[in-house]
Amino acid sequence: MGIHPTAIVDRHVQLDVDTEIGPYCVVNGDVRLGRGTVLHAHVVLQGPAVLGEDNQVFPFAVLGACPQVRLAPGLSGGILLGNGNVVREHVTVHGGTDGGTTRLGDDNLLMVGAHVGHDGVLGSHVTMANGVQLAGHVVVRDWVTFGGLSAVAQHVRVGESAFVAGGAMCERDIPPFVIVQGDRARVRALNVVGLRRRAVPEGSITALTAAFRKLFLGLMSRSEALRVVSRDDPYVARLVAVLEESYPRVAPPRVTQ
């Protein structure tokens, strides 16, 4: 465990073994840092906050600041990070509102200038490129990738293994396993590259391709396609379940049905 002499660390902070707090960091309030977590120089961490093991937080990141809301500003429900996250320079993660918590899972990469708004939920293996902006109450499932400067409106949900292209503006729910692009974001294609990187079986990718054509590219309406599409494959079943639950809040296809 190492705390640089220029760091300001509250007496309530709890540190596990092999944690490091670098020069000019400010760590305040009810904070717990897990084994192997490192705060590099000039990090600001405001409790209540729990960071698990082997997280890396780079200079000028601000974690746990009070949420950007008009009601009761200055009150934060805190943040919770899992293990193995990489938080790069100038990232901001705001605490929750009304006692809620902003939560990040494991093995996420938040690149320079990304923002996670209050009460947000990120799964695991999420990649947020430079300047990605998530508003309050956004839910992001596992294995999602965001291109640079994309943004998601409040209360929107982003399904697992989706790819949000650079600059996309998302104001409606994003289905799992798809690529969305544009302002406002529309479904463009199946995220085959992302599925293979996740090691999804080829048989499931084939089944998803057939389902995608019926659901997003066919002549039938979305509701008709949902009635006839095969759900034998578990990935297709998850896609259909999300569409049934979110429709009509889900992002439209490239060609309006």
Residue tagged 């200038």 (tokens): 113
Catalytic residue selected from 118, 123, 142, 159: 118
Give the whole-angstrom CA distance, residue 108 versus residue 127.
Answer: 6
Give the whole-angstrom CA distance, residue 134 versus residue 171.
Answer: 11
Catalytic residue selected from 119, 142, 173, 233: 119
Among the listed residues 164, 135, 162, the one whose alpha carbon sits nearest the alpha carbon of residue 147? 164
Residue tagged 């906050």 (tokens): 49
Q: State yes or no: is 218 an active-site residue.
A: no
Among the listed residues 107, 126, 110, the one whose alpha carbon sits nearest the alpha carbon of residue 174? 126
The H or E element that residue 151 is part of is strand 151-152
User: Can you say whether the dihedral through the CA atoms of 34, 112, 95, 179 is positive or negative?
Assistant: negative
The total of other beta-carbon atoms located within 10 Å of residue 152's CB is 27
Catalytic residue selected from 95, 96, 120, 136: 136
> Exposed (0-12), middle (13-18) or buried (19+): which is 70, by Cβ within 10 Å?
exposed
Among the listed residues 41, 2, 45, 44, the one whose alpha carbon sits nearest the alpha carbon of residue 22? 41
Residue pair 163/194 in contact by the 8 Å Cβ criterion = yes
* Cα-Cα end-to-end distance for the chain: 59
Q: State yes or no: is 119 an active-site residue.
A: yes
Q: State yes or no: is 136 an active-site residue.
A: yes
- Eight-class DSSP state of 196: H
Give the whole-angstrom CA distance, residue 162 versus residue 39.
Answer: 30
Q: Catalytic site residues?
A: 118-119, 136
